[in-house]
Amino acid sequence: MAILQKNEEALLIAIKKSSEKGNKDNISRTKAYEKYFATYPEIKWAFLAGMVSRNAGYNMCDLEGYWYPKVLSKSFRRTLFLTYERANWLIFSDAYPQLLLYHYSTISGKPLFHLGKYLNISSFIIGEWMRFWKNRDEKRLIISLIINEQHVIQRPVIENTFYNRKVFRSLVFNFQDFMHFSSVLFPTRKGQLFGSSVSNFRKVDDRIELGKRLSEILFTPELFPAFYDFAKNTEPTGSRYDYEQYFPNKKMKDTPMLRCTYPIITHQISIPNNWDQSTSIKNKWFREPKMREPILLSQWYQKKQKQLQALLAVENYFVKDMYE
């Protein structure tokens, strides 16, 4: 292995410190992604990551809102929160150092992505950054980052024995997955919601396809300005009310703010990210996504919220202590 120069060692230390600071919680991650995109708008994945992080925030806060504590045990809600937190922490710990390598490469005027191997970054995505540096294919880079980050969480979270048994094979998760109650939403300050519902979440191919659909929606030329306007003018708190405050019909706030609800979680360092050493890269991952459903989800969202709340209101629909 090549010997690092002193300036390279200092650079790696700075990247690690900045990444740890940004990875404190959901709010810090959202802000870091969106601030980065404001500086480097050619790295579109950063804005996608910021908007998806906002969704993760309200999914976490929903667990301590008005509805879920009525039917889900405290221990099960805690496990769900830790699942969201772990997945998003892992993605940030892998992706943000990549973004900083691009930042320092831009400053120095030469690619520094070879240093990614000292940050446990996969050889696949290092190669894709080098390709981007040469040809500036923004669309391929965002797809490559989607592919990489979904594989980053596949083994440590999705296939992890604990999370798989406690969460991904639970009645609650599979019911929501089957009924498409879960979704990733991109709001506007006019009260509209665009996005895509989530299903087959355990399958990496389906999550990659979802990521590609979401990127197509987010950067649709006629829609992107409204999404960016929302992000610039709406402080992320983790509460679903961040979105609902703009609805035409005013809604009561029924989910708390994240930093008033959850403590900072200390994570164990993950194993090195070498997923590409045992996985073949599929050509289909780089194909255009299939846009098979309406992307304007405002009415769909209202309908699904009412359906879910009606089900949760039935006391015996879920047995509260079955997820202890």
Residue 180 has pLDDT above 70, yes or no: no
Nearest 5 degrees, angle CA 293-CA 294-CA 295?
Answer: 110
Give whole-number Cα distances, 114 to 2, 102, 124, 127, 273, in Å.
Answer: 11, 11, 12, 9, 15
pLDDT at residue 199, as a whole number: 78
Between residues 182 and 60, which one has the greater pLDDT?
A: 60
pLDDT at residue 110, as a whole number: 96
- What percent of the chain has pLDDT above 70? 90
pLDDT at residue 201, as a whole number: 85
Q: How many CB atoms lie within 10 A of CB 174?
A: 13
pLDDT at residue 323, as a whole number: 43
Q: What is the DSSP letter of 118?
A: G
Question: 3-state DSSP call for residue 58?
Answer: helix
pLDDT at residue 178, as a whole number: 45
Does a structural domain hold residue 179? yes
Does a structural domain hold residue 77? yes
Number of domains in the chain: 1
Amino acid identity, position 227? F
pLDDT at residue 171, as a whole number: 66
pLDDT at residue 216, as a whole number: 97
pTM of the complete model: 0.92
pLDDT at residue 250, as a whole number: 79
Q: Strand ranges (DSSP E) for 129-223?
A: 183-187, 193-197
Q: How many CB atoms lie within 10 A of CB 120?
A: 16
pLDDT at residue 175, as a whole number: 56
Question: 3-state DSSP call for residue 306?
Answer: helix
3-class SS shares of the chain: helix, strand, coil, % to 5: 65, 5, 35
pLDDT tens per residue across span 38-97 = 999 999 999 999 999 999 999 999 999 988 888 788 998 999 999 999 999 999 999 999
pLDDT at residue 322, as a whole number: 44
Q: Residue 196's beta-bridge partner residues?
A: 184
Does a structural domain hold residue 219? yes
pLDDT at residue 312, as a whole number: 64
pLDDT tens per residue across span 125-151 = 999 999 999 999 999 999 999 999 999
* Tokens of residue 220, six digits: 């649709």
Residue 285 has pLDDT above 90, yes or no: yes
Q: What HEC string does 241-306 produce?
A: HHHHCCCCCCCCCCCCCHHHCCCCCCCCCCCCCCHHHCCCCCHHHHCCCCCCCCCECHHHHHHHHH
pLDDT at residue 24, as a whole number: 98
Give whole-number Cα distances, 151 to 26, 85, 268, in Å.
Answer: 20, 16, 18
| Look-up of token digits 């923004």 | 138
Does a structural domain hold residue 88? yes
Mean pLDDT of the chain: 90
pLDDT at residue 311, as a whole number: 65
pLDDT tens per residue across span 220-230 = 999 999 999 99
Residue 157 has pLDDT above 50, yes or no: yes
Residues spanned by the domain of 260: 6-323
Contacts of 221 (CB under 8 A, 6+ apart): none
Tell me the average pLDDT across 102-130. Answer: 97
Does a structural domain hold residue 1? no
Give the span between the Cα atoms of 256 and 135, in whole angstroms: 45
Candidates 68, 84, 83; CA nearest to 26 is 84
